[in-house]
Amino acid sequence: MSDTLGTDTADGRQSQGTPGAGDAATSVPPAPPRAAAHRRGRARMRLEIAVLSAPAIITFLAFVIFPVALAAYYGFYQWKGYGEPTDWVGLNNYKLILTDPAFHDVLWHNGLILVLSLVIQGPLAIVLALLLNQKIRGRSTIRVLIFVPYIISEVIVGTGWSLMLQSNGAGNDLLHRIGLGSLEADWIADPDLAIWTLMAIITWKYIGFAVILMLAGLQSIPDEIFEAAQIDGASYWQIQRRITLPLLGPTIRIWAFLSIIGSLQLFDLVYIIWGQYVSGTAGTSTMAIYMLAQGRNAGNYGYGSAVAVVMFVISLIVALIYQRFVLRRDLRGAVTEGTV
């Protein structure tokens, strides 16, 4: 078939032989005898498209897009979660959110977590990935083991860590045993320490993911480039700085994007550790926790929905800024043209 058409762009539809690109189809009209078959083929193609894509699109619209739209709608009401919302309050919920000192707190926490995640995990992951990218014994075992924290659910991680970090837990006992008893502290309940405890746990949980991504990125760099640099007499550090890091750029930028979005959405870990074992959230509360507390727990769904919208807008703005200025090159075409 490709012989008769003499082109690879044919998308393989046997009966009509329409070239792949839609535009091209209009510029190269099919031979007249084929027109009827062509029309039948098109109808059939439409049907197939509809049948194959409808389930996914309907599910996606109904359970992802529609709820987000609904949040925007409920956000304008003072709504208790039952019956039709009637108590229109306009932008009042948003005014309350933006002027609530508690919201400023959670926003600050999310921002701090975002920045610290990037600053701590990024360089650490790159260094560890460079180390592990060498041919050392047991490399694949190491790769499996460092990924374990990422695989275990937040609930289990949170439960385990909170038991270890209680004031009479294993963490303090260990410090005591190795002669660092003076460092013992109430890691979870002390409001000054809590955010750093959270950062330590976040780093522990997600660093493996970052390292694995960076390793994957490193391994996609062709060896020939390193060989060429070595032949030219570049030192190890020159190679890392001038070749590895730039070529690892796309991986780093994508990881950072995932990390940023994750930081803004953080919920499970904080809720499990601080919601369960400590009264109050000891200075670690996040936007998502605020949303749950104000919305569902207080029965004020209108307000909760407005918080969700604020979170969404913040995520969207951050994501758009990031894509515009950082990811532009990596994602060009991926989202807009559908060519990955």
**Which of the residues 112 through 141 are near other proteins (CB under 8 A)?**
128, 131-137
Integer angstrom CA distances of residue 16 from 38, 100, 236: 5, 64, 58
The single-letter DSSP state of residue 31 is: P
Pick from 30, 81, 111, 249 the residue near other proteins by CB under 8 A: 81
**Of 201, 209, 196, the residue nearest 122 (C-alpha):** 209
In whole angstroms, the minimum distance from the beta carbon of 249 to other proteins comes to: 12
SS3 106: helix
Segment 231 to 260, residues that bind other proteins, using CB under 8 A: 231, 235-236, 239, 250-251, 254-255
Segment 148 to 167, residues that bind other proteins, using CB under 8 A: 148-149, 151-157, 159-161, 163-164
User: Residue 57 interacts with other proteins (CB under 8 A)?
Assistant: yes
Contact 138, 226 (CB under 8 A): no
Q: Which distant-in-sequence residues (6+ apart) come within 8 Å of 158 by Cβ?
A: 201, 268, 269, 271, 272, 273, 276
Helices 66-74 and 301-322, interaxial angle, to 10°? Answer: 120
Tokens at residue 190, please? 């002390």
In whole angstroms, the minimum distance from the beta carbon of 87 to other proteins comes to: 16
In whole angstroms, the minimum distance from the beta carbon of 60 to other proteins comes to: 5
Pick from 117, 172, 259, 263 the residue near other proteins by CB under 8 A: 172
User: Residue 36 interacts with other proteins (CB under 8 A)?
Assistant: no
Pick from 227, 242, 328, 329 the residue near other proteins by CB under 8 A: 227
**Of 209, 207, 216, 203, the residue nearest 250 (C-alpha):** 216
In whole angstroms, the minimum distance from the beta carbon of 104 to other proteins comes to: 19
User: Residue 12 interacts with other proteins (CB under 8 A)?
Assistant: yes
Closest to other proteins by CB, 169 vs 283, is: 169
User: Residue 228 interacts with other proteins (CB under 8 A)?
Assistant: no
Pick from 37, 98, 119, 173 the residue near other proteins by CB under 8 A: 173
Integer angstrom CA distances of residue 212 from 126, 143, 326: 10, 7, 21
CA 294 to chain centre: 25
Pick from 89, 212, 256, 327 the residue near other proteins by CB under 8 A: 212
Segment 268 to 327, residues that bind other proteins, using CB under 8 A: 268, 272, 276, 288, 291, 295-296, 301, 304-305, 308, 311-312, 315-316, 319
Closest to other proteins by CB, 60 vs 108, is: 60
- What is the rounded radius of gyration, in angstroms, for the C-alpha atoms of the chain? 27
